[in-house]
Amino acid sequence: MSGAVPPGRLVLLRHGETEWSRDGRHTGRTDVPLTAEGERQAAGQAERLAKWSFELVATSPRRRATHTADLAGLAAPPAVERVVWDDLAEWDYGDYEGITTATIRETMPGWTVWTAPVPGGESAEQVGARADAVLARLRPALERGDVALVGHGHLLRVLIARWLGLAPRAGVHVTLAAGSVSVLGHEHEAAVIEALNLPA
């Protein structure tokens, strides 16, 4: 983010486990529900998140994200506002939707979503543009206090990279566990990661 440093912090909650995330299948547009373990992970963050006061909670439109937000207690109230933003949807994996990296590598050796084309899907730069739009949209709320985002592994990794002023592909250097909480903030003028992968 550029300009004057806003006082609020950004809390990221990755949705809980689904069958597809458990099995390593790329899950973008498909609306896969949480598993019982995913529901436990989400509910397990409620106590931690209850200690925060959020000006805004924004979720991906996918039910695995909105259900995670519900179970984690991220409702309005106590948050001032809760909204659904399409730009928080997961990376569009196109033709690779529902397929594991191992399977893709049978015909595309060394492939990763970070380094190679995604036929019929998004590039890292396109996902980065969505992350930038999210950061710009939440800034007014961040000027007033803390903000929570509930979304998906790859999208949130790109968003962390953009928060730090790095290229979208730098998200490859961060991993986010299902149901985990991470916190972004500032130290003086520098954007920082305050916490990463806090478990349920």
Round to whole Å and give the CA distance between 62 and 88: 9
- Distance from the Cα of residue 99 to its chain's centroid: 20
Q: In the beta sheet, which residues pair with residue 82?
A: 57
For the question of residue 90 being annotated catalytic, the response is yes
Token duo for residue 168: 């979208």
Q: Which position among 17, 39, 55, 90 bears the catalytic label?
A: 90
Phi, psi of 4 (to 5 degrees): -60, 145
- Pure H helices in the chain: 19-23, 36-43, 46-49, 63-71, 101-104, 124-144, 153-163
CA distances from 150 to 25, 29, 107, 164 (A): 20, 16, 34, 19
Degrees, nearest 5: CA angle 18-133-156: 30
Secondary structure class of 173 (helix, strand, coil): helix
Q: What is the set of active-site residues?
A: 15, 90
